[in-house]
Amino acid sequence: MKRDFHILDVFTAVPYSGNPLAVVLDADGLDSGQMQTIAREFNLSETVFVLPPENPVHSARLRIFTRFKELPFAGHPTVGTAVLLASQKMGELEREEDAIIMLEEGIGAVRVGVRVFPNRPAFAEFDAVALPEELSEPPPADRMAAALGLAPNDIGLENHKPTRFSAGLAFSFVPVRGLEAMERIDINPQHWKDAFWDGDLNAAFVYCRQCVHTKSHFHARMFLPGLFGSEDAATGSAAAAFAGVIQRFDQPRDGIQRAAIEQGYEMGRPSEIALELEMAGGRLKAVRIGGHAVPVMSGTLEA
C-alpha cells in the first residue's frame, strides 16, 4: 500500500536548517513494528505516524518514533505535524489564517495554535500538557563535566546550577559559562551513565546566556547518545521542561514572559524555539512552546 509522507524542517523558517521531521499520513493499519522499521528507514531524530483520532472532535492521533523507540510526546513533531495538517486543511491562502489543531499523543491531548501565511512558513504554538516538575538532585558537577569533555569550572552560570526537570520527558539541565565552553563539548560515553542516567533519564540539555544572535536569550545543545545520534538540533520537550529552570533560578515576574532559545548551531542546523511562561503569584501557571516549520520534500512509501 502506498502512503504519503512529508518532511519538514521544524523550529526554523529557513529550509535545510532546524530539526527535520518525517510525517507519514494515513498510517492506519501499520503496527508498531512496521512504524519502527519505517522510522529507522527515514533515519531522522523522529518520525510521526498520523492516525484517525479516538475523539472525533480532535484533529488526529499521533504516534512518534525515534530510530530506536516510541515516545509519548515530543516538541518538534507536535509543531511540524500541526503545521502540516493546518496547511493542508487551508490550502492556498490570500491572507493569513489561524487554526486550532488538537493532537492526541501518548501524554494526552495537545492543543496547538497554528498561524498560516500566504508567502512564508507557518508558525505553531502548543500548550504543554504537563507543567515542569523538578526531579532528583543531579550528581556532582565534576561527573557532568567529565561526560561532556569539559573542566569542572566550566559548569555553572550566575546563580544557575545543574538540575533535573520533566514536563513529560526528563532532562538534566547543565548551565555552562559561555559559547566557548559550548564549542568545546566532546561527549564521553564512558562517563555518560554516571553523570546522566537515572531510570529513564539519560538526556542532557546544556545551556548558557551568551548567544549567537542578540534576539536570543539562551543558547543550548541537547545530547542523548544513541537515541538522536548523540545530539538533537531543536528539542521542544526540553524547552518545556526548561521553563522550570527559568522559574526556579530567574524568578520571572507575574504575567506572560517570553524567552527565545537558539539551538543546533554547532550541528549546522540553526534553530529557534519560542518559550512562553505564564506566571501568577510567583508560580508557573502555563508553558507554551512555539516555532516555525517549513516543508522541504514529500513523496510516497510502500507500507
Give the residue numbers annotated as catalytic, written as ranges.
46
DSSP state of 214: T
C-alpha–C-alpha distance, residues 89 and 4, integer Å: 16
Q: Which residues contact 227 (CB under 8 A, 6 or more apart)?
A: 66, 67, 68, 69, 202, 203
Contacts of 55 (CB under 8 A, 6+ apart): 102, 104, 109
CB–CB of 99/90 below 8 Å?
yes
User: Please, is 176 exposed, middle or buried when counting C-beta atoms within 10 Å of its C-beta (0-12, 13-18, 19+)?
Assistant: buried
177: helix, strand or coil: coil
